[in-house]
């Protein structure tokens, strides 16, 4: 069993913003480029209402500081 539960895609960028990430760029659709000092930019490309499973959440968690 994964330690990452499924969640709605809108909750993930909201959580990242709470811990210090910021939105660098946002398209009219689902794409958001998030940035944080000392970390590589992260492109979030999911519509807010989509359910994101544990595999996608785990992939996003492996970004390491630059």
- pLDDT by residue (tens digit) across 7-57? 898 898 899 999 999 999 988 788 999 999 999 998 888 988 899 888 888
**Helices and strands (H, E) in the chain, number of each type:** 2, 5
Predicted confidence at residue 56, as pLDDT, reads: 83
Task: Give yes or no for a contact between 10 and 48, defined as CB atoms under 8 angstroms apart.
Answer: yes
Predicted confidence at residue 62, as pLDDT, reads: 62
Would you place residue 1 in the very low, low, confident or very high pLDDT band (cuts 50, 70, 90)?
low
- Per the model's pLDDT, the better-predicted residue between 42 and 65 turns out to be 42
Which ranges of 1-66 would DSSP assign to H, the alpha helix?
11-18, 54-60
pTM: 0.74
């Amino acid at each position: 069993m994964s330690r990452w539960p499924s969640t709605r895609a809108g909750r993930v960028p909201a959580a990242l913003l709470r811990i210090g990430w910021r939105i660098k760029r946002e398209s009219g659709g689902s794409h958001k480029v998030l940035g944080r000092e000392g970390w590589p930019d992260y492109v979030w490309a999911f519509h807010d209402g989509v359910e994101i499973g544990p595999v996608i959440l785990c992939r996003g968690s492996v970004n390491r500081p630059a």
